[in-house]
Structure 1
Amino acid sequence: MPEGYADPKNRNKRYPALYMHDGNNLFDARLSFQGVDWGVDEAVERLVKLKKMNEIIVVGIYNTEARLDEYAPMRDEKRGGGGLGSDYARFVVEELKPFIDENFRTLADAQNTAVGGSSLGGLMSLYMGLEYPDVFSGMFVISPALYWDNYSIIPWAMSKGFDNSRNRLWMDMGLLEGRTALRSSRMLDAEIRKNYPDFKNYKYREFKDAQHNEAAWRARMHLALAFMYGI
């Protein structure tokens, strides 16, 4: 929550909202999968104090034992998971977001709403942003598992398309995350640049010494936030 959210003088102020998957890994190392959190709250607070972004509300969506199925809209028989991503996306869009908008002072329109995550959470963020462009304009696609189901998300994304008036996309990958993951992110980047050369609300970055873990995402989250919300 923004630092001054509860201040009576801000009672009429509303904020952009960022919905993030794997919410248990975002704010508190004691809850995180590997004992290291993303430090999203700290990154936001630091950028706000430096006047590099405005305040936002971050909604961390705790994952479940069904994460492997819920974080992929398509089934991957080889990896034995996925297929419930569309149901999870509908839950966020039709149940969670309306609840948040009703109970917190959000700017509820798509231009002020983003979705983000890493790995399969990155895959889901790309899917949700393109499947529901009237709900989410911003997409944080961090170390995404684009190789899932034989890269099927890539042609699907190309069919949905990217437009400066409704999409804003940050995508990244660490060079130590494996050849398959790196190849898949480069494939999508190449397709976007080839098919949507006028899409300027887009940034793709690779990080030399970054592995596939919370510590790596913590180290660069501020860059993604500055791109998406920079002032």
Structure 2
Amino acid sequence: MQYVSLIMRLALLLGMLYLSSAFAAANKTSANSPEFSIKSIHIATDIWPGFTEPNEQGAYIDLIKLLFPTGIDFEITYTSFNRTVKMVEEQQADIVLGISFNESSRLYLSARPFDVDQIAVLFKPGRFKFEKSEDFKNYQLVMQRGYNYDIALGISTPSYEVDNIITGVDLVRAGRVDAFLVEKTELEGKLNANELADMELVFIAGEPIFIGFAKNERGAILKAWWDQQFQLYSQNGKLLLWYQQHPGMTLP
């Protein structure tokens, strides 16, 4: 009986060792699949202070480097947002940062958003009265080119498009338009409170934004890796910790 008991204990121990080994192997496979053979990634992005700096620093770029394997060579092209989307649509770059669900049907989007745009309206006090989105149809608006905030807010009236925030603010200040639909964080990164002292800025709504990938084999590989790592880091708590260390970003 003692001999049988010893055999059973050994069998149980071997079984536990096998399960432990299998679990470790499964984790290793999960952490490294799908197979990743890409050595360089071309990112196209606008310059957003604190998020995508010209020196290849910023929260968005840091998140990219966190989730992709170490040793990747990142090439970053800085240009207008509208141009960044076209570059990836035309497969001249692999990734565009900060794209909303409504801004392109010619890209793969990450399975989950990674931040939230803070849509706001900028106007001169006394010129613009805003209570609900329907009020926009009574006014002349301006937006940055490629920022489809009108679609996100259900606005059907035509709007001016400008290439940068400074031009949009100048148009409002000169009275050429009634209001500027703008990303609040981006505006405050470009102009300080004194430069906007004669304006009123009102938050309207948050819009989730995604990573956009080129619709080709490379883009599919990059998207699969990003989605898997984003989910893995969400489950193990590393992503929440990272977002807590970057208060300018919102984990949707």
Structure having the larger proportion of residues in strand: 2
Bigger relative contact order, structure 1 or 2 (CA pairs below 8 A, ≥6 apart): 2
Same fold at TM > 0.5: no
Q: Structure 2 length as normaliser, TM-score?
A: 0.29
